[in-house]
Amino acid sequence: MTAELKKLFQSLQLRQFAPVYLIDGEEPYYLDQITDYFENQVLSPAERDFNLTVLYGKDAEWAEVLNACRRFPMFAEKQVVILKDAASLKGDSGENKGLNSLLSYIEKPSLSTVFLIEHAGKKVDGKTRFSKRVKEKGVCFTSDKIKDDNIPQWIQAHGKDIGFHIGQRESEMLASYLGNDLQRIVNEIEKVRINVPREKELTQQIIHKYIGISKEYNVFEFPEALTGGDRDKLYRMLTYFLANPKAAPMPLLIGSFYNHFNRLYQANFLRGKTDKEAAAALGISPWLVKNILTSAQHWPLHRVERCMLLLGKYSTMAVGIKNTSSDRELLKEMVGQMME
């Protein structure tokens, strides 16, 4: 949860309500969280019967929205009006289109109404008069889409928020398997916590058992098969990924190899350290560190550095720079050169 979002929820919990809120952006997870709070937490159950109005932009007339906002609450201090799918709201004509049709209310909002405008899917143009007025009179929050390479970090932060430790390796596994759908990620983590309520850490064994990521064929076992000397497993996995390219896209494989070789590089400087000290330095679970330290004994710095240079080369080729080969051909070539 971002600092801006935490500040928003803190003000809501303290019942410091602005007359109007505009939430927009491409990431639905946070927008849904905010909307759910307005719908279920601002008013008591008894107050909601008379003072909660939920409208949808594709169905509601702009005048209906304004009339709802201008009503007085019944048997309560505040009423809540929520306009969902606001991007679909139609105005009457001329300049009075879409959200601009609400401008007259935004300029003079009712202090007894808490008005939430949910504009999911894209940002509202911040240069418009409507957007500027909302910022003057109320609160704006944009829920930006999180970049794919930042998803593992987001997963770890979410785990910290709920008191459930998720390591770097485990967060990378979830990101590769579940993608960037934050709600799906949260649901899967919650499913695990329901099944193993006493566990304080998400381990790979738990992931394999309750989330269903294949232990035999996943991108994080692949680099270990290469540096661990298990040629049978390496060839078996390579054959599988060549036959099922969607299971391991080249950018994901390269990222997995890079993280692995980066740990091997660091491990070359950790000789003489205890497993606990090495695990802390590498940012991985103690039970994983033995494999890394063992592999580092057979992969000295010059060999690791060579592989990292290869990863840089194939990373650019994977996005089409100076390359006409397929991902399958690149994968075979890259693994072959690393084994030399």
CATH classification of the domain holding 330: 1.20.272.10
Q: How far lies 124's CA from each of 17, 121, 128, 198, 295, in Å? A: 22, 10, 8, 44, 52
The token pair at 323 is 């390359």
Query: Residue 229: helix, strand or coil by DSSP?
Result: coil
Distance (Å, rounded) from C-alpha 117 to C-alpha 96? 17
Looking at residue 217, its pLDDT comes to: 73
Q: What is the CA radius of gyration of the chain?
A: 26
Same domain, yes or no: 270 and 208:
no
Average the pLDDT over 130-153 and give the result. 89
Q: How many folded domains does the chain comprise?
A: 3
Same domain, yes or no: 10 and 133:
yes
Same domain, yes or no: 54 and 106:
yes
Same domain, yes or no: 25 and 77:
yes
Looking at residue 304, its pLDDT comes to: 93
Residue with tokens 């849904």: 32
Confidence of residue 138 (pLDDT cuts 50, 70, 90): very high
Containing 331, the helix (H) or strand (E) segment is helix 327-339
In the predicted structure, residue 215 carries a pLDDT above the cut 90: no
DSSP type of residue 208: I
Same domain, yes or no: 209 and 229:
no
In the predicted structure, residue 95 carries a pLDDT above the cut 60: no
Q: Which of 193, 213, 233 is the last residue of a domain?
A: 213
Same domain, yes or no: 260 and 339:
yes
In the predicted structure, residue 286 carries a pLDDT above the cut 80: no
Same domain, yes or no: 229 and 323:
yes
Domain that holds residue 333: 214-340
Average pLDDT, the chain: 88
Considering only residues 20 and 58, tell me which one the structure prediction assigns the higher pLDDT.
20
**Least confident piece of the model among 44-58, 84-98, 117-131, 323-337:** 84-98
Beta carbons within 8 Å of 110's beta carbon, 6+ residues apart? 19, 69, 70
Confidence of residue 92 (pLDDT cuts 50, 70, 90): low
Question: How big is the chain, counted in residues?
Answer: 340
Looking at residue 23, its pLDDT comes to: 96
Q: Which of 116, 142, 168 is the last residue of a domain?
A: 142
For residue range 44-85, list pLDDT tens digits in order.
999 999 999 999 998 988 999 999 999 999 999 999 999 999
Distance (Å, rounded) from C-alpha 294 to C-alpha 244? 30
Looking at residue 168, its pLDDT comes to: 82
For residue range 162-182, list pLDDT tens digits in order.
999 998 878 888 887 787 889
CATH of the domain at 178: 1.10.8.60
| pLDDT over 90 percentage in the chain | 49
Backbone dihedral region for residue 75 (phi beyond 0: left; psi -120 to 50: alpha; all else: beta): left
Query: Residue 68: helix, strand or coil by DSSP?
Result: helix
- Crossing angle for the helix pair 182-195 and 28-40, to the nearest 10 degrees: 70
Same domain, yes or no: 263 and 332:
yes
Same domain, yes or no: 18 and 136:
yes
Q: How far lies 33's CA from each of 36, 119, 141, 149, in Å? A: 5, 14, 12, 23
CATH of the domain at 8: 3.40.50.300
Q: Which of 115, 142, 169 is the last residue of a domain?
A: 142
Looking at residue 37, its pLDDT comes to: 96
Considering only residues 219 and 210, tell me which one the structure prediction assigns the higher pLDDT.
210
For residue range 314-323, list pLDDT tens digits in order.
999 988 888 7
The token pair at 157 is 């932060």
Confidence of residue 94 (pLDDT cuts 50, 70, 90): very low
Average the pLDDT over 18-32 and give the result. 95
Looking at residue 159, its pLDDT comes to: 94
Confidence of residue 272 (pLDDT cuts 50, 70, 90): confident
Looking at residue 209, its pLDDT comes to: 84
Half-sphere exposure of 109 (CA within 13 A, CB side): 27
